[in-house]
């Protein structure tokens, strides 16, 4: 993967050029077609994903909870938290994703604590939003 693809991802904006190049070496590009499932709720967490192009839809318990586009990331909750997928993700349109395996994600956590801080902040926000949605009538 080309490190230039990571420059437009806000969560990686604080990384040095050398850190982005190292991350790009381990990131794998994956193309998914519209309607293709990336992973299902309850699956074992297999890595961290970035949306490089296109869009994906996030569903929990059969309900759409979010649409993610270029620059967004997903799959972090399973890696930071319980180890299983808390939602299903399906390509809404043809999408180009970057996949970071768990070992590389752990290395990123050690080498770039500022990035992990941003990811943890996003996890906290997503979990808070989920609690609000879970208690919403109707």
Question: Each residue of 3-45: pLDDT tens digit?
Answer: 777 777 777 777 778 878 888 888 899 999 999 999 999 999 8
Is 136 within a domain?
no
Number of domains in the chain: 1
d(CA 16, CA 34): 34
Q: What is the pLDDT of residue 7?
A: 76
Q: What is the pLDDT of residue 138?
A: 53
State residue 53 phi and psi, 5-degree precision: -160, 155
Is 137 within a domain?
no
Q: Are the beta carbons of 26 and 104 closer than 8 angstroms? A: yes
Q: What is the pLDDT of residue 129?
A: 64
Q: What is the pLDDT of residue 136?
A: 60
- Residue 96: CATH number of its domain: 2.60.120.10
Is 72 within a domain?
yes
Is 17 within a domain?
yes
Q: Are the beta carbons of 130 and 60 closer than 8 angstroms? A: yes
Angle CA(40)–CA(41)–CA(46) in degrees, nearest 5? 65
Is 73 within a domain?
yes
Is 56 within a domain?
yes
Is 135 a residue whose pLDDT tops 70? Answer: no
Question: Residue 97 is part of which domain span?
Answer: 3-130
Report which of 134, 135, 114, 116 is spatially closest to residue 124, judged by C-alpha positions: 116
Q: Confidence band (pLDDT; 50, 70, 90) for 54?
A: very high
Global confidence as pTM = 0.80
Give residues with Cβ within 8 angstroms of 74, minimum separation 6: 48, 49, 51, 56, 58, 68, 89
Q: Quote the tokens at residue 42.
A: 């309850």
d(CA 92, CA 88): 12
Is 91 within a domain?
yes
pLDDT tens per residue, range 84-134: 888 999 999 999 999 988 888 777 777 777 777 777 777 677 666 666 666
Is 81 a residue whose pLDDT tops 60? Answer: yes
Q: Are the beta carbons of 24 and 5 closer than 8 angstroms? A: yes
Q: What is the pLDDT of residue 58?
A: 95
Q: What is the pLDDT of residue 41?
A: 95
Is 135 within a domain?
no
């Amino acid at each position: 993967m080309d490190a230039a693809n990571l420059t437009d991802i806000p969560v990686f904006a604080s990384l040095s050029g050398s850190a982005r190049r190292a991350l790009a070496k381990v990131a794998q590009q994956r193309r998914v077609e519209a309607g293709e499932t990336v992973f299902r709720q309850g699956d074992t967490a297999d890595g961290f994903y970035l949306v490089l192009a296109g869009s994906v839809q996030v569903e929990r318990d059969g309900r759409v909870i979010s649409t993610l586009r270029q620059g967004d990331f997903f799959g972090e909750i399973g890696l930071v938290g319980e180890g299983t997928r808390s939602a299903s993700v399906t390509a809404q349109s043809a999408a180009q994703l970057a996949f970071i395996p768990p070992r590389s994600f752990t290395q990123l956590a050690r080498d770039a604590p500022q990035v992990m801080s941003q990811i943890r902040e996003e996890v906290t926000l997503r979990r808070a939003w989920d609690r609000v949605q879970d208690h919403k009538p109707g």
